[in-house]
Structure 1
Amino acid sequence: MPAGVAALAVLLAACAATPSTNPQEPAAAGQPSKAGAEAAEAALKRGDCREASEAYARLAAKGDAATARRATQVAVACEHLPAAWQSATRWRTLAPDDREANALYAAVALKLYRTADARGAIADFWRVEGQKNAAPAQTRSPGTAASPPAAPAPAPLAPTKAAARTARSMAELSALLVEESEASAVLIAMSGVLEPAANSPETFTLLGELALSAYDGERAAGYAHKALGYDPKDLAALRVLARAYVMRGDGSRALATARLAKSNDPRVGGLALAEVLASLDRSEEAHQELERLRGSGTSQVEIDRRLALLAFNSGDYKEARQRFNDLLSTGDGNDAIQLYLADIAAREGDTDTALAGYRRLYDSSVAVTARSRAAALLLERNSRVEALALLDDYAADHPEDELDITLVKAHLLADNGDGDGGLALLSSALERHPQHPSIEYDRAVILEQSGHVRESVEALRHILEKRPEDPTLLNALGYTMADHSLELTNAEALIRRALTVMPDNPAALDSLGWVRFRSGDLTSASSTLERAYSLGHDGEIAAHWGEVLWASGRQSEARQVWAAALARDPESKPLKATIKRLLPDAK
């Protein structure tokens, strides 16, 4: 993440210093009043994010760029999108060439699905970065003695190097935007700026990576081919191309591309080949490929880490546990490894060991995840008070994570039969974070989960009016309607609209398979769900695929699908519910 853009990850107390005025003098024009800034900061310190965001937005409306910057940082950290939009707009108006202003403006615009506005800020970011990288390098700091007159002037970077540096800056911006928004929206915005004038393999590879994140394998392959037009041996482009072929279901081309990468660079290409083999469910071959990399110069820790993840994702928890423990014993362990070990215990039904593992991570870099998973286990034990306190205590000490904690709590309550409690939490959250799309979306999901199907459909339709091309919303509405056999023709049309934007998204393909099943087309449903599962390996997709096979008279195949899926995800509630319904005597 670029240093100037890091404000999105900066927590409340660590934001830039509060703009202030000299206490002996009145505020100058364009500066916030001292009292106004102090009031906003006081609200922030007592955890009143809404008041802090709105107070700073009022100051920013008449303040200078520094005030607008602080206002934007606070509103973004507080997830107050109306205030963030107002402040970011003001900041960008005052500082149109500021890379951080353009980055945060684009991030907020994409959260609000204002794609055209985001595209404008991305274009300015790219323009400024391009100009900076093409300019001669500075040879001295301002204020130091000048170079002797005979010294040659610094030369500008070669065009290819300048373009590569600019592409790296755009990759940093892309990573930030994907973290904050839907990858499909980021791809639409970024490609509209970069594609027409792209002049480096790095830029096309970046677009290929974005297309993969947006589940568009065909588009990713196209970008990779353009990058390879500059250099047929470009490893990054070959890796994108191999993954694109996997996504499109062309395993033979994926393997051929990965092997070509390996022939060009045995170490990096070997890792790419192992990755492709794992994606194709050829775990043993992936294991062998990783073992062959020992002695190649590849980090032994990296090989062991990948072997551990391969075992974990394949459902071989015994091997995964051993490998993760070995990593810990060498001193190379970290919070993520300890989280995997706790997850293994949870998946094997060893709740006490899992809780002990999560407890060790309550104040770590993965604290929200660890506490959320521990709370889920405690709720299953009917320890509701302890579970909720575990989350509330953390939110009280970490107000920057309050929204994430609230969303987790709402879903946990709904998952454990208290949908009304979850909905009440979300209603309260909307007061603190007005018009927040994640809260509105999760509210619609929990309405359906709680049996309020018609209300859920209406809520999704209302959100879709504001974001008519949002593929996640299109898919959610289409699936909800299909799952309850409502307007199946319209439901399928919505899902297919989503798939035009993210054609290889496993969740959307699952929805398409499910609506075809509800419509009586078992053949199409089965093939679509098989492809969805190959891309996502999700327990709910396996449940759907198995049910279609079962309804088609292919009970033996259904059992095989369910058994394999249970090995990967033994705690999948949709999968276990489907098996219990169709095989009531199964253990």
Structure 2
Amino acid sequence: MSDASAQTVMAEVALKRGDCRAASESYAKAAASSADVPLVRRATQVAMACEHLPAAWAAATRWHALAPQDREGNALYAAVALKLYHTADARTAIREFWRSEERASVATPPAGKAGGPDPATGQDPATGNASPSVPGGASAAARPAQRAARGMGELMALLLEESDAPAVLMAMSGALEPSAHTPETLTLLGELALAAYDAQRAQEYAEQALQHDPRDAAALRVLARAYVVHGDASQALATARKAKADDSTRGGFELAEVLASLDRIEEAHHELEHLRTAGAPAAEVDRRLALLAFASGDLKEARQRFMELLSSGQGTDTTQLYLADITARDGDPEGAIAAYRRLYDSSVALSARSRAASLLLDRNARSEALTLLDDYAADHPEDELELTLAKARLLADHGEADTGLALLASALERHPQHPSIEYDRAVILEQAGHVHESVQALEQMLSERPDDPTLLNALGYTLADHTLELPHAEGLIRRALAVMPDNPAALDSLGWVRFRAGDSKSAVAMLQHAYTLGHDAEIAAHWGEALWASGQRAEARRVWAAALARDPDSKPLKATLKRFLPDAK
């Protein structure tokens, strides 16, 4: 038996006994000495599923060397590269993936053969239905571009599962520009830029796409959202109304979303009711009205609308999860736990169990809380890392930071060099009062990922929050904002560091902008504190009250209120 074969057997035996690390490392050794692409593919997939990044990188690199034009190989190579912040390597793989998509699209069989719609009708010859890739019977020239963009969309979704949006945008834009000139690809990049908190780039991509087709609904949607982020309400609404003129239902829903994003809740409500009277799907209107009420803090209306969805047969597991959340916010932990319990084996099981566990920990039912997560992990080993991170955060949030840190240390043994574990460890160290160690951990991570905006912001905020090295902290945060200029958390950090430096006036403006973009209760806490310090106490009270209505369980907000309004209920 060859060494590769022996290592493969050892890997499969390790998998059967649940030793993911040993399986990943044995498969990586097998891949290193083999030219068998299926074996190397299996090695990469196992290491990725086991979240063993060094083994995944070794196997993916071998796969890329053996089959540099392999579509799946390039996709997984890019995914691992991005997770390790090897941006240049990710770009190379993405560029090759793009070329393979273009080649495959051009080589698609002609009409009447399997895999291709009729060019004259845009219909699938096997079913007679309109091809999903040819809306309305698009031209034959457009179809390859649509297929290539769809493939890139699938790649983007994979990369976003493994990395954050700014890193994915950095890699994908670098790989596709300037060859990305089709409206489909430009719109895809625009959507990614929005997710990466870069509205200016999103606007530029959307405008380029609209030069090809001024009525492109997807590009208009990106452009409207970019205007919202810029704070240009008139342009955002004009763009959304243009989309509605071309498609009254889809465009109407988009207009309602834009209105809601601009905090024009009553107008959004009116638009949705208008859509109902115009014949839009009632269940979709009701779903959006329920979400609108929930997001604005009107829990009574939200409960009523979610209940109506359930009674009409249009409800989902997510509908029930919202109802359980509302019960928890209403101060009925027993009722909420009972509602979450009904979802323990549903499509939202992990969220339901995590939230129930948090409520149980609030009541000191520690054993029951952790059993909820452990039982799920036993049945879903593929979610082991996510569950471990959730458990560590829960414990830290309930005064057991040291236990949470021990869990993360054990997780790093199983998943060496994993950035999510290392990042959560730094966060919990700070939470536990080990500020120096937290700063050291973030600095170590930054030495390996010097341009990672999430790390730059985390370190800058940690220093600012403890009034340490404020000029250095501000420099770090500004570097983060250079990559993700519209990120509410980073804008909050910049406002907070200015506040800590004694510049309440500029801090107020920055924090107000951050809250407008993110509506996060902790940002509201900071904004209110800056207002209070600048003498605007009535406005601070208004900000805190509005944020508390949206998120009554926010610990940072409640802690701020306790400091400034100790008699408030």
Q: TM-score, normalised by structure 2?
A: 0.93
User: Where does residue 364 of structure 1 map in the other structure?
Assistant: 346
Amino acid at match of 2:514: A
Identity %: 71
Instruction: String of CA shifts for 1:468-523, please: whole Å, max 9, x gaps.
Output: 00000000000000000000000000000000000000000000000000011111
Instruction: Find out whether 1:97 has 2:79 as its counterpart.
Output: no
Q: Residue 68 of structure 2 aligns to a residue in which SS? A: coil
1:421 shift after superposition: 0.8
User: Where does residue 338 of structure 1 map in the other structure?
Assistant: 320
Amino acid at match of 2:374: D
Q: Distance in 2 between matches of 1:41 and 1:367?
A: 29
Instruction: String of CA shifts for 1:15-37, please: whole Å, max 9, x gaps.
Output: xxxxxxxxxxx66xxx942x543
Q: Residue 232 of structure 1 aligns to a residue in which SS? A: coil
Q: Residue 78 of structure 2 aligns to a residue in which SS? A: helix
Instruction: Find out whether 1:114 has 2:96 as its counterpart.
Output: no
Q: Distance in 2 between matches of 1:133 and 1:297?
A: 38
Answer yes or no: is the 8 Å Cα contact 2:190–2:206 preserved in 1.
yes
1:136 shift after superposition: 4.7
Answer yes or no: is the 8 Å Cα contact 1:187–1:214 preserved in 2.
yes
Amino acid at match of 1:128: S
Instruction: Find out whether 1:315 has 2:287 as its counterpart.
Output: no
User: Where does residue 375 of structure 1 map in the other structure?
Assistant: 357
Q: Distance in 1 between matches of 2:9 and 2:281?
A: 51
Answer yes or no: is the 8 Å Cα contact 1:134–1:159 preserved in 2.
no
1:226 shift after superposition: 0.3
Answer yes or no: is the 8 Å Cα contact 1:205–1:227 preserved in 2.
yes
1:262 shift after superposition: 1.2
Answer yes or no: is the 8 Å Cα contact 1:163–1:199 preserved in 2.
no
Aligned ranges 1:41-60 → 2 under 5 Å: 41-60=12-31
Instruction: Find out whether 1:134 has 2:106 as its counterpart.
Output: yes
Instruction: Find out whether 1:255 has 2:226 as its counterpart.
Output: no
1:141 shift after superposition: 7.5
User: Where does residue 577 of structure 1 map in the other structure?
Assistant: 559
Aligned ranges 1:292-303 → 2 under 5 Å: 292-303=274-285
Aligned ranges 1:341-490 → 2 under 5 Å: 341-490=323-472
Q: Distance in 2 between matches of 1:295 and 1:104?
A: 47
My pick for the range that moved more, 391-400 or 576-585, is 391-400
Q: Residue 288 of structure 2 aligns to a residue in which SS? A: helix
Aligned ranges 1:173-322 → 2 under 5 Å: 173-322=155-304
Amino acid at match of 1:380: D
Q: Distance in 1 between matches of 2:114 and 2:398?
A: 62
Amino acid at match of 2:405: L
Answer yes or no: is the 8 Å Cα contact 2:50–2:382 preserved in 1.
yes
Q: Residue 196 of structure 1 aligns to a residue in which SS? A: coil
User: Where does residue 126 of structure 2 map in the other structure?
Assistant: none
Q: Distance in 1 between matches of 2:92 and 2:278?
A: 46
Please point out which of 480, 494, 498 is paired with 2:480. Answer: 498
Q: Residue 47 of structure 1 aligns to a residue in which SS? A: coil
1:160 shift after superposition: 2.4
Amino acid at match of 2:304: Q
Amino acid at match of 1:408: A
1:101 shift after superposition: 1.1
Answer yes or no: is the 8 Å Cα contact 1:32–1:67 preserved in 2.
no
Q: Residue 568 of structure 2 aligns to a residue in which SS? A: coil
Q: Residue 87 of structure 1 aligns to a residue in which SS? A: helix
My pick for the range that moved more, 394-403 or 293-302, is 293-302
User: Where does residue 134 of structure 2 map in the other structure?
Assistant: none
Amino acid at match of 1:303: V
Please point out which of 70, 73, 77 is paired with 2:42. Answer: 70
Q: Distance in 1 between matches of 2:69 and 2:278?
A: 46
Answer yes or no: is the 8 Å Cα contact 2:4–2:29 preserved in 1.
no
Q: Distance in 2 between matches of 1:135 and 1:402?
A: 41
Answer yes or no: is the 8 Å Cα contact 2:495–2:510 preserved in 1.
yes
Amino acid at match of 1:263: A
Please point out which of 39, 47, 52 is paired with 1:80. Answer: 52
Q: Distance in 2 between matches of 1:302 and 1:176?
A: 27
1:312 shift after superposition: 0.7
Q: Distance in 2 between matches of 1:43 and 1:324?
A: 46
1:366 shift after superposition: 1.4
1:62 shift after superposition: 2.1
Q: Distance in 2 between matches of 1:295 and 1:175?
A: 35
Q: Distance in 2 between matches of 1:74 and 1:189?
A: 24
Answer yes or no: is the 8 Å Cα contact 1:429–1:439 preserved in 2.
yes
User: Where does residue 537 of structure 1 map in the other structure?
Assistant: 519
Amino acid at match of 2:60: A
1:282 shift after superposition: 0.7
Q: Distance in 2 between matches of 1:477 and 1:521?
A: 20
1:140 shift after superposition: 5.6
1:340 shift after superposition: 0.8
User: Where does residue 532 of structure 2 map in the other structure?
Assistant: 550
Residues 334 and 45 from structure 1, CA distance in 2 versus in 1: closer, same or farther, beyond 3 angstroms?
Answer: farther
Answer yes or no: is the 8 Å Cα contact 1:362–1:370 preserved in 2.
yes
Q: Residue 468 of structure 2 aligns to a residue in which SS? A: coil
User: Where does residue 512 of structure 1 map in the other structure?
Assistant: 494
Q: Residue 520 of structure 1 aligns to a residue in which SS? A: coil
Instruction: Find out whether 1:125 has 2:107 as its counterpart.
Output: no
1:213 shift after superposition: 0.2
1:68 shift after superposition: 0.9
Answer yes or no: is the 8 Å Cα contact 2:360–2:366 preserved in 1.
yes
1:409 shift after superposition: 1.1
**Runs of at least 5 residues in structure 2 that lack an aligned partner in the other structure:** 116-138
1:397 shift after superposition: 2.0
Q: Residue 451 of structure 2 aligns to a residue in which SS? A: coil
My pick for the range that moved more, 130-139 or 402-411, is 130-139
Residues 342 and 136 from structure 1, CA distance in 2 versus in 1: closer, same or farther, beyond 3 angstroms?
Answer: closer
**Runs of at least 5 residues in structure 1 that lack an aligned partner in the other structure:** 1-25, 143-156
1:94 shift after superposition: 2.0
Answer yes or no: is the 8 Å Cα contact 2:7–2:29 preserved in 1.
no
Q: Distance in 2 between matches of 1:300 and 1:57?
A: 53
Aligned residues: 544
Answer yes or no: is the 8 Å Cα contact 1:327–1:333 preserved in 2.
yes
Q: How much is the aligned-residue C-alpha RMSD, in angstroms?
A: 1.5
Amino acid at match of 2:73: A
User: Where does residue 547 of structure 2 map in the other structure?
Assistant: 565
Q: Distance in 1 between matches of 2:30 and 2:336?
A: 48
User: Where does residue 8 of structure 2 map in the other structure?
Assistant: 37
User: Where does residue 121 of structure 2 map in the other structure?
Assistant: none
Q: Distance in 2 between matches of 1:341 and 1:141?
A: 46
1:297 shift after superposition: 4.8
Q: Residue 197 of structure 1 aligns to a residue in which SS? A: coil
Residues 586 and 99 from structure 1, CA distance in 2 versus in 1: closer, same or farther, beyond 3 angstroms?
Answer: same
